[in-house]
Amino acid sequence: MNILDLPAPEAARALVGKILIRRLPDGTELRVRITETEAYYGESDTACHACHGRTKRTEVLYHPAGTIYVYLCYGIHWMLNLVTGPADDPQAVLIRGVEGASGPGRVTKFLAIDKSLNDTRLGGALALEDDGYAPEKVTASPRVGIGYAAPEDQAKLWRFCAE
DNA sequence: AAAGTGATCATG
DNA sequence: ATGATCACTTTG
């Protein structure tokens, strides 16, 4: 069973501690462990981009598990998300932190990720590896930066950090 | 505490 | 075509 087939909140928790492999065009390979994630779960989640339905941008979220969703935020920062769950069911996990880079904008800078990876699949330029390691403790807390969402969605504990 | 930054989406 | 809105980071 692939982690990414799980519903986003479960996948987000399970991804903490897993390894992300980034293969650059020049052959360099970076391997980093994921330390922090956040789940965005379906059209009913008012914090999820797909809550306003399918658009050119959110189309990627409706793709099958394992699709990579990258978009630009605040005109400066790329955000890296991994699509989870079945096709036509928009869910994704935002990679908020990895070893060596804390903060979603820094992660993409550190791994040299930009929109060229959007709508591609894991297994190529970016891949996931499970080496069996599990963090001692994973803490759940409210998601950040979603003040526009409904209060009940802001209250969801869908941000996961490794201890 | 506040600004910088540009794609995206909803208006007209 | 124009304007509002951001799943953030850095600087003072």
The range of the structural domain enclosing residue A85 comes to 3-162
pLDDT in the model for residue A26: 94
Q: Is A9 helix (H, G, I), strand (E, B) or coil?
A: helix
pLDDT in the model for residue A163: 84
The structure's pTM equals: 0.95
How far apart, in whole angstroms, are the C-alpha atoms of residue A121 and residue A67? 4
Tally of domains within chain A: 1
Beta carbon of A38 within 7 Å of strand C? yes
Write the CATH number for A124.
3.10.300.10
Separation of A118 CA and B8 C1' (Å): 15
Segments in chain A below pLDDT 50:
none
For residue A58, give the nucleotide whose C1' atom is nearest its CA. B8
Beta carbon of A56 within 7 Å of strand B? yes
